[in-house]
């Protein structure tokens, strides 16, 4: 493997008194292209996928080695870890006569062993790790929670059909909020077409993007609290203080430019973290300590950015 490359001259480049990019390192991939990277819950491994979300791969930061976990179609689209990082959950897709049938799978990262939780389902959304540590998913517009203990004890996991904590998903371009068995449709900006939806780490706010007018933060009633403007693929930092995102441009066929930013969750402080002429940096994702970002460029190279954020 080639040595980890330090790119740009960002060790001492400070964008403001309270945000500093200390380093950017490239993960050595032996010429392979990978995309959509994210940290595991302990920050010691990073998972990513190939083009079109094909398969899952894990990079161990200590061993500096890439391991292939699986080659399932669609597995790289929004996979999620268990709270302890030992298991990864993902949806894999199979198309029959143009109709998509999805299977929900859990996989032990170390042993690579797989367990099918649900097979060949219609209208199955990718699983999510909730703030309480449960794995939830939406099937036919209904919230379900996987009982973690049952996965370890049996090949037939117990699935509960209700959740006391809020679960959100996009339903026919609108925001659907499920809590305590009750579903509420939210349309915070009016006639919105929403994507990139998530709940804040404290479980009290929503982060979402309207495809026409940009990204917002609201409370769980849908009242707008902050307007962030154009901020694509936004993600909460685990401590809830920051939101990472990209501002990208395209020519109608491909991405022609993209840079990475972060903004404070109150919308008051925004910082551009990349500014390159020869790189197209996309889809940043936070480390569990809220001190790093991992992202890919247009060529499928994966980078880790170390940040120093002080108040």
In this prediction, residues 67-90 reach a mean pLDDT of: 96
Q: Residue 269 burial by CB count (10 A; 0-12/13-18/19+): exposed, middle or buried? A: middle
Q: How confident is the model at residue 2 (pLDDT cuts 50, 70, 90)?
A: very low
Any residues with CB less than 8 A from the CB of 76 and at least 6 apart, and which? 35, 36, 48, 49, 50, 53, 54, 55, 56, 90
pTM (2 d.p.)? 0.90
More reliable by pLDDT, 258 or 147: 258
pLDDT of res. 131? 78
Q: What pLDDT does residue 186 have?
A: 97
At residue 146, the pLDDT reads: 85
Mean pLDDT over the full length of the chain: 90
Which regions of 97-250 does DSSP assign to beta strands (E)? 99-108, 114-121, 128-129, 135-139, 142-146, 159-160, 167-171, 174-179, 182-186, 194-199, 205-210, 214-219, 224-229, 232-236, 242-250
pLDDT of residue 9: 37
Asked whether the predicted pLDDT for residue 10 surpasses 50, the reply is no
Which two tokens mark 168? Answer: 């959100």
DSSP 8-state class, residue 51: G
The CA radius of gyration of the chain, in Å to the nearest whole number, is 19
Coil vs helix vs strand at 228? strand
Rounded Cα distance, 154 and 115, in Å: 10
What is the rounded distance in angstroms from the CA atom of residue 294 to the CA atom of residue 287?
8
Size (the chain), residues: 311
pLDDT at residue number 16: 45
**Predicted local distance difference test score (pLDDT) of residue 7:** 39
- pLDDT for residue 179: 86
Question: Percentage of residues in the chain with pLDDT exceeding 70?
Answer: 89
Mean pLDDT in residue range 67-80: 97
Read off the pLDDT of each residue in 35-39 and give the average, rounded to a whole number.
98
- Whether the pLDDT of residue 147 is over 80: the answer is no
Reported as a single tens digit per residue, the pLDDT across 194-247 is: 999 999 999 999 999 999 999 999 999 999 999 999 999 999 999 999 999 999
């Amino acid at each position: 493997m080639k040595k980890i490359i330090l790119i740009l001259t960002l060790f001492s480049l400070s964008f403001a008194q309270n945000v500093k990019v200390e380093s950017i390192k490239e993960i050595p991939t032996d010429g392979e292209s990978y995309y959509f990277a994210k940290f595991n819950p302990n920050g010691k491994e990073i998972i990513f996928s190939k083009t079109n979300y094909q398969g899952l791969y894990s990079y161990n930061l200590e061993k500096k080695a890439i391991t292939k976990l699986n080659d399932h179609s669609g597995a790289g689209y929004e996979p999620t870890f268990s709270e302890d990082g030992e298991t990864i959950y993902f949806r894999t897709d199979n198309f029959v006569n143009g109709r998509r049938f999805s299977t929900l799978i859990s996989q032990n990262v170390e042993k690579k062993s797989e367990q099918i939780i649900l097979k060949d389902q219609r209208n199955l959304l990718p699983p999510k790790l909730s703030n309480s540590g449960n794995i939830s998913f939406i099937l036919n517009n209904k919230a379900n929670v996987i009982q973690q203990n049952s996965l370890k004890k049996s090949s037939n996991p117990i699935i509960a059909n209700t959740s006391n904590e809020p679960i959100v998903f996009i339903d026919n371009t609108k925001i659907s909020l499920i809590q305590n068995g009750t579903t509420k449709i939210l349309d915070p900006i009016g006639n919105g077409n929403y994507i990139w939806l998530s709940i804040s780490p404290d479980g009290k706010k929503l982060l979402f993007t309207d495809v026409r007018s940009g990204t917002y933060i609201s409370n769980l009633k849908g009242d707008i609290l902050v307007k962030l403007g154009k901020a694509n693929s936004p993600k909460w930092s685990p401590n809830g203080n920051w939101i990472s995102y990209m501002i990208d441009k395209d020519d109608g066929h491909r991405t022609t430019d993209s840079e990475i930013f972060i903004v404070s969750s109150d919308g008051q402080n925004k910082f551009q973290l990349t500014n390159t002429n020869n790189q197209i940096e996309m889809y940043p994702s936070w480390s569990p300590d809220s001190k790093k970002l991992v992202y890919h460029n247009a060529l499928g190279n994966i980078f880790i950015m170390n940040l120093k954020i002080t108040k």
